[in-house]
Structure 1
């Protein structure tokens, strides 16, 4: 009983470690220097970066370049010439 409680307590303490913070799209847009750093890390060594961070950097760059407006949707009917 004592060993199982001790093992359970050790597992609970190990699970309480701090998680690495992930950058959001909004935080990357607010800090262009961090955005550039994340983009460089994703391009050079993508094994150290998570896919979510690389996607957030890509979306932040798209929003900074294209704006936050609606995306292009083609018309349902083709144009008549």
Structure 2
């Protein structure tokens, strides 16, 4: 019996909104050690940028991500600053 290879993963283009927002979540991997938590945060940030989701101050609590070495308020502020820096490109 053999195992099939995993399906190919198509990456977002570097100039897409998704790529930019997920890179913000990846930037905080020292504070959010679990990769799936960063993916969840990236998805919710994408929804926020599209006008469908909550702001970072609420997302940090509602996504139930594990945060290490920083308070929720500080992390939310850092995320907000990153969004404002990238906002002109999004």
- The two structures have a TM-score, normalised by structure 2, of 0.28
Which structure would you say has the larger Rg? 1
**Structure that is richer in helix per residue:** 1
